[in-house]
Amino acid sequence: MAEIFNGIGKIPYEGPKSKNPLAFKYYDAEKVVAGKPMREHLPFAMAWWHNLCAGGADMFGRETADKGFGAEKGTMEHAHAKVEAGFEFMQKLGIEYFCFHDVDIVPEADDINETNRRLDEITDHILEKMNETGIKCLWGTANMFSNPRFMNGAGSSNSADVFCFAAAQVKKALDLTVKLGGKGYVFWGGREGYETLLNTDVKFEQENIARLMKLAVDYGRGIGFTGDFFIEPKPKEPMKHQYDFDAATAIGFLRQYGLEKDFKMNIEANHATLAGHTFQHDLRISAMNGMLGSIDANTGDLLLGWDTDEFPYDVYDTTMCMYEVLKAGGLENGGFNFDAKNRRPSYTDEDMFQGFILGMDTFALGLLKAAALIEDGRIDGFIKERYASYESGIGAKIRSGDVTLTELADYAAEMKTPALPGSGRQEYLESVVNSVLFG
């Protein structure tokens, strides 16, 4: 197959002083940080949908980028051209994983039987390229939000026929994920939510989503899927209210329906901020519940209230992300999937590479700085000290559970009034972070 990205070679690491736009400044795959090479800390993935499908169309204008890759769009020839383009792109960047929805990899037919035939054909091609290059599948998923049949949701649809169609898509997407050796399977409930409570039975809808997930787990385990199922929380957009609002909500849902052993979180930076949290917050909530699974690496724009899926550029954010990931001991079956797209006016082939170079360098910097923050020890030391009153005496008794409310009240009565708790020292800690970032 002829080269698609002509004139762009393998992206080298040239170091922070390099001014070469087509070189990494910080991502040095084999450099050892905190005991292992960067590439092991940062299993990056390419999102098929943004990188190979999206051409920059928005609500106000059509596509600006040509993602035809020499073929006519909407054809199987185009689907095959995308496979060639995708693998060439990943190889040139040293990206080791990809993620896909069923409808990213083939044009959907009117008849699901024909769609499934196309999916079998294209995954044969993808598998061939995987064997040739060593590139792997991070996770697969079914798109259950674009087609009009899913206007009221998939698992949460009011139509039992649509529920069956969703089940069929999940079944096929699981078959494909297993065929490609994917480490995860994602549920992003784009339309699993509501526009108005006036027409919605929330309890029924949530029970039905859980039923679909349970059926998926049973089927997946039955066909040998040993990886993780992931929920990707997002509070809104496209629906006004989405049930998987944030990590805390999704974890509660999983526990309520007995799904917590098979599922973890896939945390997307921009989704966390749409929920009114920092990216770090949703990572922390997932990690402390043993459910930090994978990451959709992108960023939003604080001046805009929607899901802009930008390539990550904010080193402060990626430092805090990598701080959580390092503390959690890494991502077992997960990775850093660039669920990100170029801005509409960045429409050239080179821009596609620039997006990934920016994202990979920003995460590499985040990793370096997070490791330095942990090594520095002032933040960890401060937190340990902050809770020191629970290490001995009455505090230790409280922690052990070996105390009654009356005993505590008696203790308080003897004290008469407690000393003020120690200062939170937020400004000092923020300056510690600055000194590690820029010192």
**Active site amino acids:** 101, 104
Shortest reach from residue 307's CB to ligand XUL, in Å: 5
The amino acid at 160: A
* Contact indicator for 327, 287 with CB cutoff of 8 Å: yes
246 touching ligand XUL, by CB under 6 A: no
Chain centre to alpha carbon of residue 371: 21
Nearer to Co ion, 170 or 371 (CB): 170
205 touching ligand XUL, by CB under 6 A: no
Nearer to ligand XUL, 141 or 342 (CB): 141
349 touching ligand XUL, by CB under 6 A: no
Residue 79: CA count within 13 A, CB half-sphere: 22
Shortest reach from residue 174's CB to ligand XUL, in Å: 15
84 touching ligand XUL, by CB under 6 A: no
Work out whether strand 193-194 and strand 241-242 pair parallel, antiparallel, or are unpaired: antiparallel
Cβ atoms within 10 Å of 7's Cβ, excluding its own: 8
Shortest reach from residue 153's CB to ligand XUL, in Å: 14
In 228-289, which ranges are E strands?
228-231, 241-242, 263-268
Which of residues 268, 307, 317, 349 is near Co ion by CB under 5 A?
A: 268
102 touching ligand XUL, by CB under 6 A: no
Which of residues 96, 205, 268, 317 is near ligand XUL by CB under 6 A?
A: 268
141 touching ligand XUL, by CB under 6 A: yes
Alpha carbon distance 295, 47 (integer Å):
12
Residues 6 or more apart in contact with residue 49 via CB below 8 angstroms: 100, 101, 104
296 touching ligand XUL, by CB under 6 A: yes
The amino acid at 65: A
Shortest reach from residue 434's CB to Co ion, in Å: 30
Nearer to ligand XUL, 175 or 232 (CB): 232
Q: Is the dihedral of CA 79, 182, 133, 31 positive or negative?
A: positive
280 touching ligand XUL, by CB under 6 A: no
234 touching ligand XUL, by CB under 6 A: yes
Alpha carbon distance 144, 36 (integer Å):
38
Residue 35: CA count within 13 A, CB half-sphere: 4
**Would you tell me which residues interact with ligand XUL (CB under 6 A)?**
101, 141, 186, 188, 232, 234, 268, 296, 307, 339
> Rule CB under 5 A: which residues touch Co ion?
268, 296, 339
